[in-house]
Amino acid sequence: MELTFLGTSSAVPSKYRNHPSIALKAFGEIILFDCGEGTQRQMASVKISPMKINQIFISHLHGDHILGLPGLIQSMGFRGREEPLHIFGPKGIESLKNSIFNLGYCVIEFPVIFHEVDGGIIVDEKEYVIECIKTEHNIENLSYSIYEKKKPKFLKEKAIELGVKVGPDFGKLHNGCEVKIGDKIIKPEQVLGEKRIGAKIVYSGDTKPCENMIKLAKDANILIHESTYKLEDESKALESSHSTSQQGAMIAKKAKVGKLILTHISTRYTNVDELKKEAMEIFENTEIAYDFMTLEI
Amino acid sequence: MELTFLGTSSAVPSKYRNHPSIALKAFGEIILFDCGEGTQRQMASVKISPMKINQIFISHLHGDHILGLPGLIQSMGFRGREEPLHIFGPKGIESLKNSIFNLGYCVIEFPVIFHEVDGGIIVDEKEYVIECIKTEHNIENLSYSIYEKKKPKFLKEKAIELGVKVGPDFGKLHNGCEVKIGDKIIKPEQVLGEKRIGAKIVYSGDTKPCENMIKLAKDANILIHESTYKLEDESKALESSHSTSQQGAMIAKKAKVGKLILTHISTRYTNVDELKKEAMEIFENTEIAYDFMTLEI
């Protein structure tokens, strides 16, 4: 899996930071989280093809998180896309469709399917699961988690005890198929351990610190958390339902994540060392995202 | 007057070229021509404040020329703008308003006034005039001309002949006020020459070569003409109602303009020397625009 930060600013973009968007290259596709204005150009800069995106997950309906959608969708149409595009987001996202399709003259002939979601497992594929939970911004915000499904441990000794011979039958059972040993049918659940999850990545969207965020981020390998403000501007964060870098770090600590990446940085801070330093006082393994930052997981 | 090219690509943006937009700093304001996606960030990069824009002139309703409007307008609202914003464009532009105002959650409390125009003088201010004319794209396209009003020549000898003494009365008459000499009233029109225009700038939007373009561009100091294609792709230009660089140059030559600037360059051309060379065979004083290119006029 490869994460690319396409935009890391908050409401106002700067020369160095575009509006929010994160691309996850995994499972043979590109999965997009948020799509601020200019996202399609950011993608062009790092050679990510819009045609490989089948799913976009929107945290909330503020312009800085959605205004790249019309251009991205129109460009897909312009390139002759035929495959459906799925867009997930909070209540209200379905009504974006008309506005997007009526922004000037455009031909969009492929299916664009909007899904209004409000929590729980929203995508359950063979290789991965995507969940969301409501967190606390000044309008409805969803935070997302994506994790790989990992095969349960194969209990080798148990299998031998049941008469399975070392060889192809081990693989069949591990892959979820029954095998026949003499007259006996051995079922996979007899030789498999508990369900396991692989790499887990969690993205906050915009939120002030809250219990649901800790719950969703629990044991994640990577927590991408918004960090609009510095500690000295904590009152501004509270007022606008955003977080400081220390508040993001507190979530990371409580959720026991592996690594914290702070994003959605207010462009009032040209030097972000202070934000990082303040976060690291609480959670050591912290990075500040920058546009085009890439991370292998 | 200062021209800044904020975006110089055609339909698809690249790492080096954003979607079309041109800012003209003149007469104490910023006048914008077209507003492709990402224009507000391009403005941030060169420190042009969106709050100084009172008028935007849209050539046509293809996404690459308009998708920066929602973000720009929402950002103006976010910054507490109160002054009205006027947006001019071809038939259909008024219906953009609903789509823009319904793109997610936003508060826009200042007046945004859309003007559907189809030719002739559309703005006539004390210091300048803006005209438009229909040109020939695959949807309705307007090309725009802006020119400074320049005071007519002051006929000094005529004034002296009429008994006006050298001094403040000369200035009064040149500025359009009557003066009294003894019992006689001297009117400005008695001592002023013919109406004159100052610097004239013309912008094509998207069009194939046509007579109306030559008419509008007549004697302009600067013609900014689209140049989507190279000579070898002339059939593509024809098919999509665009121009090659040579066709732009032919317009410049026939309209006897001072300087030609080619823009709206297809991102298929990474090296634009060929486009320039081909245009210069027909019209010598040609430049290829690039993002953030600035020109004093």
Q: Can you tell me the distance from the alpha carbon of A52 to that of A55, in angstroms, rounded to the nearest whole number?
A: 9
For chain B, residues with pLDDT lower than 70 are none
pLDDT at A71 over 90: yes
Distances, alpha carbon A115 to alpha carbons A74, A135, A207, A272, B282, in Å: 19, 18, 21, 36, 55
**pLDDT at site A164:** 93
**A139 and A167 share a domain?**
no
Minimal-distance CA residue of chain B relative to A17: B41
**pLDDT at site A49:** 94
**Is B34 flagged in the annotation as binding?**
no
Task: Report how many Cβ contacts below 8 Å link chain A to chain B.
Answer: 129
**pLDDT at site B204:** 98
Q: Can you tell me the distance from the alpha carbon of A155 to that of A284, in angstroms, rounded to the nearest whole number?
A: 37
pLDDT at A98 over 90: no
Last residue of a domain, one of A141, A174, A190: A190
Distances, alpha carbon A286 to alpha carbons A252, A261, A273, B231, in Å: 9, 6, 11, 53
pLDDT at A106 over 90: no
Mean pLDDT of the residues in chain A? 95
pTM reported for the whole predicted model: 0.90
pLDDT digits (tens, 9 = 90+) for A31-65: 999 999 999 999 999 999 999 999 999 999 999 99
**B18 and B103 share a domain?**
yes
Q: Domain of A64: which CATH number? A: 3.60.15.10
**pLDDT at site A293:** 98
**Helix and strand numbers, DSSP H then E, in chain A:** 11, 16
**B55 and B126 share a domain?**
yes
Q: Which residues of A touch B13 (CB under 8 A)?
A: 40-41, 44
Q: Can you tell me the distance from the alpha carbon of A143 to that of A210, in angstroms, rounded to the nearest whole number?
A: 11
**B181 and B84 share a domain?**
no
**B13 and B95 share a domain?**
yes
Q: Which of A11, A40, A68 sits opposite B78 (nearest CB)?
A: A11
User: Which strands sit side by side in the sheet containing B29-33, from one edge to the other?
Assistant: B112-116, B85-89, B53-57, B29-33, B21-26, B2-7, B294-296
ipTM of predicted assembly, 2 dp: 0.89
**A139 and A282 share a domain?**
yes
**pLDDT at site B107:** 85
Minimal-distance CA residue of chain A relative to B42: A15
Last residue of a domain, one of A190, A215, A243: A190
DSSP readout, chain B?
-EEEEEE-B-SS--SS-PSPEEEEEETTEEEEE---TTHHHHHHHTT--GGGEEEEE----BHHHHTTHHHHHHHHHHTT--S-EEEEESTTGGGHHHHHHTSSB----S-EEEEE--SEEEEE-SSEEEEEEEEESSSEEEEEEEEEEEPPPB-HHHHHHTTPPSSHHHHHHHTT--EEETTEEEPGGGTB---EEEEEEEE--S-BS-HHHHHHHTT-SEEEEE--B-GGGHHHHHHTT--BHHHHHHHHHHHT-SEEEEE-B-TT-S--HHHHHHHHTT-SSEEE--TT-EEE-
Q: Which residues of B touch A11 (CB under 8 A)?
A: 75, 78
Please give the radius of gyration of chain B, using alpha carbons only, rounded to the nearest integer.
22
**Is A99's CB within 8 Å of B95's CB?**
no
* Residue B97 near residue B115 (C-beta atoms within 8 A): no
**pLDDT at site A13:** 94
Q: Which residues of A touch B14 (CB under 8 A)?
A: 41, 44-45
**Is B99's CB within 8 Å of A95's CB?**
no
Angstroms from B238 CA to nearest CA on chain A: 18
Residue A250 pLDDT grade (very low, low, confident, very high; cuts 50, 70, 90) = very high
Q: Annotated catalytic residue: which of A34, A64, A169, A291?
A: A64
What are the catalytic residues of B? 64
**pLDDT at site B241:** 97
**A178 and A217 share a domain?**
no
**B117 and B165 share a domain?**
no
**B201 and B179 share a domain?**
no
* Domain with B164 in it: 156-190
Q: What total number of domains does chain A contain?
A: 2
**B231 and B165 share a domain?**
no
Selected residue of B18, B37, B43, B137 to mutate for chain A interface (largest A Cβ count, 10 A): B37
**B177 and B264 share a domain?**
no
**Is B60 flagged in the annotation as binding?**
yes
Q: Can you tell me the distance from the alpha carbon of B99 to that of A57, in angstroms, rounded to the nearest whole number?
A: 21
Over residues A210-236, the mean pLDDT reads 97
**B33 and B130 share a domain?**
yes
Minimal-distance CA residue of chain B relative to A45: B15
**pLDDT at site A283:** 98
**pLDDT at site B176:** 87
Residue A76 pLDDT grade (very low, low, confident, very high; cuts 50, 70, 90) = very high
**Is B103's CB within 8 Å of A99's CB?**
yes
* Residue B134 near residue B140 (C-beta atoms within 8 A): yes
Q: Which residues of A touch B100 (CB under 8 A)?
A: 99, 103
**Is A71's CB within 8 Å of B37's CB?**
yes
Selected residue of B67, B75, B100, B114 to mutate for chain A interface (largest A Cβ count, 10 A): B67
**Is A70's CB within 8 Å of B71's CB?**
no
Angstroms from B117 CA to nearest CA on chain A: 16
What SS3 class is residue A47? coil
**pLDDT at site A104:** 87
